[in-house]
Amino acid sequence: MQRHQQYHQRAQDEITAFHSNVVSEVQQAIEQHDVVVVGMFLNPYVLWVRFVLSQANIQYHYLQYGGYLSKWKARLALKIWSGWPTFPQVFVKGHLIGGCKKTRMALKEGSFQQLLSS
């Protein structure tokens, strides 16, 4: 994905290389699992979205990258890659749904289930 085409090639190379192992791990999980939740330790919104998905009997794969005081650069790389500014980041069939609020809305309106069954 060439999200940053407006950047000089050196800047683009730096962005692409920035914690690329973490980004690759998330990309692989998205390819292998229908629902992926990317989060961080002790974040209440991450805990809440995981609870909501479990209550809806939706199986998901969870990836955790540090907490408030650790692995912030890895999380920053994921924010740059996905374009989503917060955690959790919820993916369904390769599509970014958003965070906790957007996931709850998608579940309530049925678009989450539609995407999951497509």
- Which pLDDT score is estimated for 5? 60
**Domain residues of the chain, as ranges?**
9-117
Please return the burial class of 13, using the count of CB atoms within 10 Å of its CB with bins 0-12, 13-18 and 19+.
exposed
- Which pLDDT score is estimated for 44? 97
| pLDDT tens column, 61-112 | 999 999 999 999 999 999 999 999 999 999 999 999 999 999 999 999 999 9
* Helix axes of 72-82 and 20-32: crossing angle, nearest 10 degrees: 60
Q: 73 or 7: whose pLDDT is higher?
A: 73
Task: Specify the CATH superfamily of domain 9-117.
Answer: Glutaredoxin (3.40.30.10)
- Which pLDDT score is estimated for 8? 86
CB-CB contact of 88 with 102 (8 Å): no
- Which contiguous run of DSSP H or E holds residue 90? strand 89-92
The per-residue pLDDT of the chain, averaged, comes to: 93
